[in-house]
Amino acid sequence: MTEPLRPMAQANRISNLLRIVLGDQRFPVQADQVALEYSRQCFPTSPVDKVDGQDLDGFEGMLAVNKARSKWLILYNSAVTSQGRQRFTIAHELGHYLLHRHQQDQFQCGHDDIETGERNKKDIETEADQFASTLLMPLDDFGKQIHGHPVGFDLLGHCADRYGVSLTAAALRWIEIADKRAILVASRDDHMLWAKSNEAAFKSGAFFATRKRTIELPRDALAHSDNGSTTTQSQLLQAKAWFPREPSHVELTEMTKVAGNYNYTLTMLLMPDAEWRQPQHDDEEPEEDTFDRFTNNGQFPDRK
Ligand SMILES: [Zn+2]
């Protein structure tokens, strides 16, 4: 291969192989086995030689090559008890191996690098996450799971189980392919940890620049401690409670779920299509969004 494939193309290539070999039995994707087998077959002179769990102080995952550059090692943090999180981390490191190993000899990936919706810009951590997400939750199968079902954390929980990933990873995947405006917010102590808007929401100005400033949850938000409860909830409310620029008559559906393993709350915001076309946040427009890359790569799925 002369030209390195982009993250989603790399993942789709492996997905197709798994479908041919394993058929319906391919989920959850065994990321460790894939890393060992695929690298051994495609890159026999410098494969991933070992995938191992260790107590990595301060890291979630690591990819490193030996001195002779003849083999690579993937480590994941065994102190993280969530199997879904471990699977995603291994897939993320495999992404670095396939996409970036000619750039660096070692990758150390912290908690903030993996499985968050925080980034919109192109960097190697975003690419590794895109690879992992696509490999573990291929769009064609994901679409079949959600088609015809009401969206909610129950449905996303089903997807998380099927793919062996965290609820957060499944929810991030869902908003990518949602056909309405959708935003996922992770919060703790009434403040946003990160937020991710899909393309439709982003282009209408419905996003939060959580990397630029600390943002408090709206007082009306279910996840706000003033309304505190730890069970799954949903409510319909004026969109302007979250996004002041939305017209008064626009409502949004808000759903919350405590992501037990991580000690934070997930909030999903679902909104109708935007009614205007002019983005009002030109000054805050980040670089190309994850979602744009789907469409630019021609890989955005047909909606059925
Ligand atoms: Zn990484």
Count CB-CB contacts under 10 A for residue 2: 3
Tell me the C-alpha distance between 177 and 171, whole Å: 10
Cα Rg of the chain, angstroms: 19
Question: In the prediction, which pLDDT does 287 show?
Answer: 40
Cα 223 to averaged position of ligand 1 atoms, centre (Å): 29
Distance 96 CA to ligand 1 centre (A): 7
CATH no. of 156-294: 3.30.450
The DSSP secondary-structure symbol of 189 reads: T
* Residue 245 CA, ligand 1 centroid: distance in Å: 36
What is the structure's pLDDT at 3? 55
Q: Name the average pLDDT for the chain.
A: 85
Residue extent(s) of CATH 1.10.10 domains in the chain? 7-136
Q: Is the pLDDT of residue 266 over 80?
A: yes
Report pLDDT digits (tens) over 220-244.
Answer: 999 998 886 655 589 999 999 999 9
pLDDT > 70: percent of the chain: 83
Give ranges for CATH 3.30.450 in the chain. 156-294
For residue 16, pLDDT beyond 50: yes
Residue in 127, 130, 129, 160 with CA at minimum distance from that of residue 142: 160
Q: 101 alpha carbon to ligand 1 midpoint, in Å?
A: 11
Mention the CATH class of domain 7-136: mainly alpha
Better-predicted residue by pLDDT, 282 or 80: 80
pLDDT on residue 118: 53
Phi, psi of 101 (to 5 degrees): -70, -20
58-86 pLDDT, tens digit each: 889 999 999 999 999 999 999 988 899 99
Summarize pLDDT for 74-130 with one digit per residue, the tens: 999 999 888 999 999 999 999 999 999 999 999 999 877 776 655 545 689 989 999
pLDDT of residue 261: 63
Cα 248 from Cα 242, distance rounded (Å):
12
How far apart are the CA of 118 and the centre of ligand 1, in A? Answer: 14
Alpha-carbon gap, residue 128 to 100, rounded angstroms: 9
Q: Compute, in angstroms, the gap from residue 108 CA to the centroid of ligand 1.
A: 6
Q: What is the pLDDT of residues 165-202, one digit of tens each?
A: 999 999 999 998 888 999 999 999 999 999 999 989 99
Please give the Cα distance from 107 to 65 (Å, whole number): 10
Q: How far is the CA of 93 from the centre of ligand 1 (A)?
A: 6
Distance (Å) from CA 86 to ligand 1 centroid: 13
pLDDT of residue 75: 97
286 CA distance to ligand 1 middle (Å): 21
Strand partners for 256: 233, 267
Ligand 1: centre distance to CA 273 (Å): 34
Asked if the model's pLDDT at residue 277 lies above 80, the reply is: no
32-49 mean pLDDT: 97
Ligand 1 centroid, distance to 193 Cα (angstroms): 19
Q: What is the pLDDT of residue 111?
A: 76
Write down the pLDDT at residue 185: 96
Q: Is residue 302 pLDDT above 90, yes or no?
A: no
Instruction: State the pLDDT confidence band at 304, using cuts at 50, 70 and 90.
Output: very low
Q: How far is the CA of 107 from the centre of ligand 1 (A)?
A: 6
Distance 106 CA to ligand 1 centre (A): 10
- Ligand 1 centroid to residue 300 C-alpha, Å: 24
